[in-house]
Amino acid sequence: MSDITVAKNGQATLTCEMPDDSYNGTWIQNGTTLADGERISVTQVGAEHTLVLKSTLKSDEGVIKFKSDKGGFELDFNLIVTEPPSVDPAEFEECGKSLGAISIGSPATLKVPYSGQSPITVTWRFNGAEIATGDTYTITSTDKLTTLVVGDFQQANCGNFEVTLQNEHGTLKIPVDVSLSETSQVNYEVVQVPGETIEKTTTVNMTATEAPAKPAGNIKFNNMSENKFSIGLMMTNPPTDVLNYVMEMKDEAGSVWHQCALFTPEEAKSITVKGIKSGQRMTFRIKAINEMGESEAMESRAVTVQKAADPPMLDAAALAKIGNEIRLKAGKDCRLKIPFKGSPMPVAAWVKNGKKLAIKGRYQADTNEKETTFQISTVTGEDSGEYTLNLKNKEGVSSHTFKLIVVDVPGQPQGPMEITDISGAEMTLNWQAPRHDGGKAISQYIVDKKEEKATKWSEVAKIEGTELTYTVPQLVKGCKYCFRVRAVNEEGESKALTSVATVASGPPAPPGVPVAVDVTSKSIVFTWTAPENDGGNEITGYSVEYRENGGDWMMVTKDHIDGFKASLKDLHDESVYELRVAGKNSAGKGKYCESKPTTACDKPEPPVLDDKVKAQYSEPMILNAGEDLVLKLPISGIPRPQGSWTFGKDKIEDARASNSSEKGFVLFSLEELKRSDCGTYHIQAENCEGKETMSVSLRVLDVPTAVENLKVVRASSKSLTIGWQPPKDDGESTITAYSIEVQCCEDEAHEWIKLNKVFPGEDLKATYEVKKGNSYKFRVCVLNMLGSSPSVTSDALLADDKFKPPAAPAKPIVSELTKSTCVLTWTAPEDNGSPINGYMVETKRVGRRNWVKEYNGRTVDETKCFIKDLTKGCDYVFRIIANNEAGFGTPGAESDETIPMDPIPPAPTPTDFKIEDMSDNAITFTWKDGEGLERDKLHGYIIQKLPEGRTKWINCNNVPIRSTRAFVTDFRAGEKFRFRISPMNDGGLGGFCELPDLVEVRQMQIMPVIELRGDAVDTVHVSAGGTLRLSAFVSGNPKPIIRWMKDKVDQERRGATRNQDGIAHLNVRYLTKEDTGTFIISAANKSGKVKKDIKVVVHDSPDPPCNITMGDINPDGSIMISFDPPACDGGSPIKHYCVQMSDAYLKFQTVQDKLTVNKCLVKDLRPGATYYFRIYAENEHGRGEYAQSNLLTVIQKNEPVYIQRPKFNRMDTSKPAGFSLNLKNVQIKERRSAKLTCATIGRPEPEIVWFKDNNKIKANNKYSMRNSMGVCSLLISNSRARDCGKYRCEAKNPTGEAVCEATLMVYPDH
């Protein structure tokens, strides 16, 4: 039987839940069937039957029975109707209106009518203090009315009167406010007492009345392997009348069923079947069982039992043979064969360096039922790395990782090569280590160089393998050089990393550090030294800047300074100045070199503290806690002394401390002093000339700290005694007394009562006589001359010989809020030795003083209750008081302020939710606001993701997004998700807009697009020495890699850039005619590669003509000279040619100018004379460089003279080749001809061969060679810096050979 307790005029609700909705029944009281009426409501919703009695009466008490028409079940409810004190609002208000006006000196009468079950105890209070009949007040009470008469009413009697009505069923408090103005007024607060229903639940076990129905749902085969065969019974609504299920099986060809499992409904999702073999074809059926019998069987389809399923397991012996590392020589094949066990046949996946390996080309792999194979053909150094084999089937995964090391030459050093610190004599090369070292450590790097147009490289240096930078010395100013770097290990050399051609000329190096040589308070003079390197060009001046106190840099003078001195004038005293200097030449301005900070001040003086100051602080300073320590110490010294201080030996790092300096003073301060600040402070003032010190002793006075170890010494139902220990710190002031206060927890005024003080030297104890059953708190504080310490409060102490009331419950939680109701939940507190009987729930309007007890003062048994009859829009707070046999405990903490209101509808669902962009780790989403959205009430949007194979959605953002676009990160490439979005407002999340398809996170790929801009669309014409500016719009996803190329040479070092607007630029300065040709811009990403050609023509004077050919000399002394046009016409057609001739003394004269054909007849050549010819080509931009012919010697032809050779005996006259005169070193200026001469000996006459830097020299326009009577000469025309080097002459005949060498040096002509 369930007890239902309800207050009179309240509402009683009786609920009975049957097994399902097929059960009907009736409600019966005193033999009478209860039916729907004005006070009675009978309803059935599904399996739940409900009886509601409204406005309950005392006559409604008794047993109410629910009788089921199916199975004959009966359930009894005992209804109890209580009568707590109550006040009729209408009578209460009418009684207040019937009272007359109140005047000073006359009696005043207050009446409160009430009702409820007797006896009712009446208590009156004035301003929280209980009052009784006496000289001032007269109180009379009957069963229906209580009256208070104030005999001689005065102004002091104005205030808050409160009457408390209490019986065994509850307590009611009625406030009455009395005030005087021009018209006296009595304010009665109308109190409405709501009814209360206490619900209890009783469970009745019902026996089945018939056999269960055939199982509903379907049979699912979870696993059909021989060793893991499993079946599940999948049901949407499990029946309640089933005790067990039985499963039977039979062979498809047989007819006899055998029981194979017995299970409960809770175990139905997975039932293991044993005793079957692979290949059998079986049928299964399931029956439901209860006390009345078993149901019809649900039969499955026939299935074939599969082979045993096992996770893959790699062969341990094969893995041990492979080990963790494999070393192979380059060019070998890597072959692996690894047996395994597992069923079904697994799939093999290979991973290299964390990325899936594509099996194609040189990489081959295969897997069958017994083994997996892997092969790399002709391995190279690029194949080195960490390899992982993942063998996987549906039962599991087996993996093995090993490292493959291919012994080979190193990889190419990584670039591009960066060239820095360029000057006319040296450059610094920088590169990165190769991607692989070939399996052996890199021992060294080889650095080579060559001039831009040269064909042969010369070795510069060999450096350690750990170095990645090298400075190339001994360069020729103005020449263009190319450099290359090769890595070397024990296996050989790598491919070379080559730089772009770079001119050996640049800005100067930084000058020497500026030094202040003359300092005053108004001026500073700085000097510096010239740079060690002028960058290959003469320094034309120095850029000099200064700044004050770390501000912006400003020029010292408008123009550059020629010398090595700069002066700063009109300075501010004690300001700090810095100077920086940079050299400048024709190539630009070099790097700045900065001076040390220098203070503008006069002749330095050490700091000095006045003796009076030291004497003043020789005695300890005494301050109170909370005050500030401020020390302003007069001090002299130049530059201004800087102050510092320490506390004992420790540096002061407290945020309250500060120190500073100003002219004539050093300042120290420590804010809000504490007792811990007591001690000695060491102060120091210091400048560059010395330091001054002094010490200050500080005493801080404060109130004492709190007492220690406050505890109960003795407790009984008559008195409580507490004791304590003195404080740890008396605040450096004598303790005068201990103050003790006590509070009765049951006193609603919560008034603290002072007890007698305890003085030092007495026992530190205090005793208080108490009332049995009440709880008390004590608090103790310490007093000294400065005040009282923080008080220490004891826990509530019960005046009883047994136990204490419960502790205070925690703050209740408000939920399910509407405009008039809510639900409170809380956690149970400590019961202090006696089980909690129930909880008192109290409600208070914010701004009012009195708490109203819910449920007419009755307690609730659960830690949850339903509150109703709240006023919409008003602020409420709630609190809970626990009760046990010792009584009510301390009221719990107040709940958060709550305003009853209807639930707020969620925001409308957004639309057009889609992905705008996606990379391998981030996604950009866009969407539109839902129709009718009020954005001022919108908190923002929440995006959620659902990983593939999961069922729980995860928030992508914790902070709502206000815009309609979001950038979400922290994804991994290849992950798959579903995405949805929902708006959030005060009503919570709204509807979800979901992407229709599963999304795989990967980079969105868009083919690059190049759109040329400006003149780049057609042929670009630029003058020599000018700047080429090319640009193009480039787009694509992922962001394309952009390259500018010409003749297969990357132009990035020449200024290729790309800004945020998707525009690629190439700016090439100081163009030459060699830059004429096709520039190619290419853009590549994972989607592909595109490129576009740009034709560039550089207009300049033409190159020299080619292939000068001299015909035979005619009898009249004339000769025909022909030549080919220049290889480059300078971007403009050749207008004409100019032919000049000179004798052996290099005095050239024009033979023919304005020549329009490629040949010229030269007349009047003198026999026996030697000539040179040179030819110029000219276009509209001017005359180009000349081409010079070989030496021509005119020999006069005579008739031959025949002399008969005499006969004589042959004798051996041979002699080995040698030199009677060796070559000598030659030094000449640029654009002059150089001649190297030596004399040979030997018989027969030696054959002569010339070499430059080990390269054989051939006769051409540059080189002329002669050998006359053993005198050999080499003529080098128009010598340039590139002709510098070592020249060698080799003489060789059948009997021997000889060599001699010399060096040619060419200097600039200036």
The label of the residue with tokens 């005050």 reads 627
Report whether pLDDT(1222) > 50: yes
Confidence of residue 1192 (pLDDT cuts 50, 70, 90): confident
The two beta strands, 565-568 and 524-527, are: antiparallel
Report whether pLDDT(206) > 70: no
Contact in structure between 991 and 1006 (CB atoms under 8 Å): no
Count CA within 13 A, CB hemisphere, residue 22: 5
Percent of the chain having pLDDT more than 70?
A: 94
So what's the pLDDT on residue 591? 86
- Give the distance from CA 1025 to its chain's centroid: 49
More confident position, 105 or 685: 685
Closest residue by Cα to residue 1236 from 1212, 1282, 1272: 1272
Report whether pLDDT(483) > 90: yes
DSSP assignments along 932-983, one per residue = T--GGG--EEEEEEEETT----EES-SSPB-SSEEEE----TT-EEEEEEEE
Report whether pLDDT(514) > 90: yes
Instruction: Give the whole-angstrom CA distance, residue 320 versus residue 544.
Output: 72
Closest residue by Cα to residue 609 from 628, 590, 577, 632: 632
So what's the pLDDT on residue 44? 85
Report whether pLDDT(1198) > 70: no
Residue 181: partners with Cβ closer than 8 Å, 6 or more residues away: none
Average pLDDT for residues 658-669, to the nearest whole number? 86
Average pLDDT for residues 1276-1303, to the nearest whole number? 91
Instruction: Give the whole-angstrom CA distance, residue 1223 versus residue 76.
Output: 136
So what's the pLDDT on residue 222? 87
End-to-end CA distance of the chain: 124
Of 326-340, 849-863, 1194-1208, 1262-1276, where does mean pLDDT reach its minimum? Answer: 1194-1208
The CB density around residue 60, as the number of other CB atoms within 10 Å, is: 18
33-42: per-residue pLDDT in tens? 888 888 888 8
Closest residue by Cα to residue 167 from 89, 240, 114: 114
Confidence of residue 188 (pLDDT cuts 50, 70, 90): very low
Average pLDDT for residues 423-442, to the nearest whole number? 87
CA torsion, ordered 455, 459, 464, 465, to nearest 10 deg: 20
So what's the pLDDT on residue 109? 82
Average pLDDT for residues 831-858, to the nearest whole number? 86
Which residues, listed in sequence order, are joined to residue 582 by a DSSP beta bridge?
A: 543
Confidence of residue 1058 (pLDDT cuts 50, 70, 90): low
Q: What is the DSSP letter of 1043?
A: E
So what's the pLDDT on residue 497? 93
Burial label, 1206 (beta-carbon count in 10 A; 0-12, 13-18, 19+):
exposed
Report whether pLDDT(454) > 70: yes
Which residues, listed in sequence order, are joined to residue 516 by a DSSP beta bridge?
A: 526
The CB density around residue 1000, as the number of other CB atoms within 10 Å, is: 12
So what's the pLDDT on residue 1280? 87
Contact in structure between 85 and 167 (CB atoms under 8 Å): yes
So what's the pLDDT on residue 101? 57
* Torsion angles phi and psi, residue 93, rounded to 5: -70, -40
- Token duo for residue 891: 């009221």
The two beta strands, 159-167 and 170-179, are: antiparallel
So what's the pLDDT on residue 973? 85
Instruction: Give the whole-angstrom CA distance, residue 869 versus residue 11.
Output: 13
So what's the pLDDT on residue 801? 67
- Token duo for residue 676: 């811990």
Instruction: Give the whole-angstrom CA distance, residue 1274 versus residue 1251.
Output: 10
Contact in structure between 923 and 904 (CB atoms under 8 Å): no
Which residues, listed in sequence order, are joined to residue 245 by a DSSP beta bridge?
A: 263, 288
Average pLDDT for residues 874-899, to the nearest whole number? 88
214-271: per-residue pLDDT in tens? 888 888 888 888 888 899 988 877 777 788 899 999 988 888 888 899 988 888 889 9
148-158: per-residue pLDDT in tens? 888 777 777 78
519-578: per-residue pLDDT in tens? 888 899 999 998 877 777 788 899 999 999 989 999 888 888 888 899 888 888 878 999
Calculate the average pLDDT of the chain: 85
Peptide bond into 119 cis (omega under 30): yes
The label of the residue with tokens 């398809």 reads 997
Instruction: Classify the C-alpha dihedral 120-121-122-127 as positive or negative.
Output: negative
Contact in structure between 572 and 583 (CB atoms under 8 Å): no
The CB density around residue 1132, as the number of other CB atoms within 10 Å, is: 14
Instruction: Give the whole-angstrom CA distance, residue 40 versus residue 211.
Output: 37
587-635: per-residue pLDDT in tens? 788 888 999 998 888 878 888 888 888 888 888 888 888 889 888 888 8
- Token duo for residue 802: 């047994």
The label of the residue with tokens 């498809």 reads 252
So what's the pLDDT on residue 1239? 92
1236-1250: per-residue pLDDT in tens? 999 999 888 899 999
Instruction: Classify the C-alpha dihedral 358-361-362-366 as positive or negative.
Output: positive
Average pLDDT for residues 50-56, to the nearest whole number? 85
Count CA within 13 A, CB hemisphere, residue 827: 5
992-1028: per-residue pLDDT in tens? 999 999 999 888 778 888 888 877 677 888 888 888 8
Report whether pLDDT(278) > 90: no
DSSP assignments along 405-457, one per residue = EEE-SPPPPEEEEEEES--SS-EEEEEE--S--TTS---EEEEEEEETT-S--
1064-1109: per-residue pLDDT in tens? 888 888 888 888 889 898 998 888 889 989 898 888 888 899 988 8
Contact in structure between 585 and 537 (CB atoms under 8 Å): yes
Of 62-66, 661-665, 1211-1215, where does mean pLDDT reach its minimum? Answer: 1211-1215
Report whether pLDDT(1207) > 70: no
- Token duo for residue 1292: 């060789």
Closest residue by Cα to residue 1039 from 1001, 1006, 1082: 1006
The CB density around residue 1107, as the number of other CB atoms within 10 Å, is: 12
CA torsion, ordered 618, 624, 628, 632, to nearest 10 deg: -20
Confidence of residue 866 (pLDDT cuts 50, 70, 90): very high
So what's the pLDDT on residue 1144? 62
So what's the pLDDT on residue 198? 43
Provide the residue type at 578 as one letter. Answer: E
Instruction: Give the whole-angstrom CA distance, residue 1119 versus residue 1165.
Output: 8
728-772: per-residue pLDDT in tens? 988 888 899 999 999 998 887 788 899 989 998 888 889 999 888
